[in-house]
Amino acid sequence: MKEISKIIDGKRVIVKKPELLAPAGNLEKLKIAVLYGADAVFLGGKEFSLRSAASNFSLEDIQEGVEFAHKHHSDVHVTCNIILHNDNLAGIKEYLQALDDIGVDAIIVADPYIMMLAKSMHLSLEVHVSTQMSTLNSSAIRFYQNLGMDRVVFGRETTYEDVKVIRQKCPDIDLEYFIHGAMCIAYSGRCMLSNYFSRRDANRGGCNQSCRWNYDLYENDQQVNGEGDVPYTMGSKDMALVNHIPELIECGIDSFKIEGRMKSLHYIATVVSTYRKLIDAYCADPNHFVMSDWYEKELEKSANRAFCTGFFYDHPTADEQLYNNRDEHPTQEFVMRVIDYDEDKQMMKIEQRNYFKKGDEIEIFSPHQSNLYFTVEKIYNEDNVEVDVANHPMEILYIPVNQKVYVNDMGRKVRHE
């Protein structure tokens, strides 16, 4: 296992910084993830990937994504994590070759056939074992290591105590751990609720999220939850290990994964930026790092469910599940993306993303600086006509702001509770 920290000029610094791996549901999200600090992004192709509802990438899109990511020193991982059926077998070899030719850095795979096929083709890309295989122990990791796999993504059920032991027992293979995002209620890959209830194949990207539905409950055919009772459901709060990043860095995890290929641009920017800042701050001076609640509060701005720590400590309790949809809440509203800033005129050019109006207080967040706040006093359209409201999606507008902002900074409306 690589050395995690070193004393440099009398100060301990982290030298084995984990990769921050972010989801990319489309090219725009990929670019934002990279610009906001992701060391690597993962995306799905049109075939062989889960999350069929995400706007998955064509080979041309992947190529553009790879070129952009590599230019910014980030890697691209492509999910090939469906469980293959007979009618999915054709074309997989050609697809893997094409990904390798494009320069994709790694594929994330669940099906052992694809794992071994990729290795037999002597490709340059790495092969990572998907979380769909629910790998929870060192013996299973040794199995994959013996097959030549380069990395194993832990099942989300792996506790921190177990992770520490596994890291010691398996020092020579990359280990990836989920730190943030939605959680399957079942062992990944072992849930067929969607298949039975709606004939949509969960293991090929068609999951209908039936674990989050409401159910009637019966004891010996007698219904036990009536009207007014808490409905039976199985959904989980979302995981956020923001307060445990230091322990995970110190135990030598190679990659921190953020879930959410179907999440919004706002989510990607907020979550990546927050974890980037946290990881960098800790690694720069771990001995004097003080955890601030700013990080968690920042993440909450893009969250639509309450947070939990998943299996980090042990089994999630009732408090970590979502009953009666309690703890689901709207995110703070994402209203603009900066596309230019004229320092002389102190005027930013923005792309409207959601309704806002004069008088609204806006929080700008950025990979380059701390968040800044201002009140919208004037809005101009492209014809330089002043308007009171911004109510046309993607409209280009100009707003005076006397603090420097950067291209691709994002603005969200400040909500006063």
Partner 1 sequence: MKLALHITNCDYLSDYLDMGVEMFIVAGEYGTYTTEHFSLAEIAALTKRVKHLYVMVNGLYDEHELEGLFAHIDALAELSVEGIIFQDFGVLEYVREKGYHFDMMYNPETLNTNPNTLNTLATTGVTSAFVANVIPLAEQLDIKHHTNIPLVLQIAGVQYMMSSKRALISNYQEASGQELSHIPGVLTIKPQGLDFTCYAYEDSRGTTIYSKTRLMMLDLLKQVRDFDYLYIETLFMSPSEAIETVHAYSDTLAHLDDLLYGKYVKEYEQLLHQLNIPMDRGFIDEATIYHLEDVKRRDASERNQ
Residues 299-318 that bind partner 1 (CB under 8 A): 311, 315-318
How far apart (Å, rounded) are the C-alpha atoms in residues 260 and 131?
14
Site for partner 1 in 69-88 (CB under 8 A): 82-86, 88
Cα 74 to Cα 30, 68, 273, 368, distances in angstroms: 10, 8, 15, 17
Name the minimum Å distance from CB 200 to partner 1.
6
Q: Which is nearer to partner 1, 225 or 354 (CB)?
A: 225
State the maximum Cα–Cα separation within the chain, in Å, rounded to a whole number. Answer: 75
* Close Cβ partners of 356 (under 8 Å, ≥ 6 residues apart): 333, 335, 336, 362, 376, 389, 390, 413
DSSP state of 328: B
Q: Which is nearer to partner 1, 145 or 332 (CB)?
A: 145
For residue 323, how many C-alpha atoms fall within 13 Å in the half-sphere facing its CB?
Answer: 10
Name the minimum Å distance from CB 107 to partner 1.
16
Site for partner 1 in 137-176 (CB under 8 A): 137-144, 146-147, 155, 157-159, 161-162, 165-166
User: By CB under 8 A, is residue 369 in contact with partner 1?
Assistant: no
Name the minimum Å distance from CB 225 to partner 1.
7
Q: Of 182-190, 251-259, 357-365, 377-385, which part binds partner 1 (CB under 8 A)?
A: 182-190
Q: Give which of 161, 154, 159, 162 is closest to 178, Cα–Cα.
A: 154
Cα 300 to Cα 271, 355, 356, 415, distances in angstroms: 9, 21, 21, 12
Name the minimum Å distance from CB 416 to partner 1.
31
Task: Give the total of residues touching partner 1 (CB under 8 A).
Answer: 81
Q: Which is nearer to partner 1, 53 or 389 (CB)?
A: 53
Instruction: List beta partners, residue 412.
Output: 334, 363
Site for partner 1 in 93-112 (CB under 8 A): 111-112
Q: Which is nearer to partner 1, 227 or 344 (CB)?
A: 227
User: By CB under 8 A, is residue 15 in contact with partner 1?
Assistant: no
Query: Is residue 176 within 8 Å of 253, Cβ to Cβ?
Result: yes
Say how far residue 136 (Cα) sits from the centre of its chain: 21
Strands 347-352 vs 334-342: parallel, antiparallel or unpaired: antiparallel
Name the minimum Å distance from CB 175 to partner 1.
12
Instruction: List beta partners, residue 336.
Output: 352, 411
| Burial degree of 293 (CB within 10 A; 0-12, 13-18, 19+) | exposed
Q: Which is nearer to partner 1, 191 or 268 (CB)?
A: 191
How far apart (Å, rounded) are the C-alpha atoms in residues 352 and 348?
12
From candidates 98, 185, 281, 291, binder to partner 1 by CB under 8 A: 185
Q: Which is nearer to partner 1, 195 or 408 (CB)?
A: 195
Per-residue x/- mask for partner 1, residues 114 to 143, rule CB under 8 A? -xxx---------------xxxxxxxxxxx
Q: Which is nearer to partner 1, 234 or 387 (CB)?
A: 234
Site for partner 1 in 187-246 (CB under 8 A): 187, 189-193, 195-197, 199-201, 203-206, 210-211, 213-221, 224-225, 229-232, 234, 236
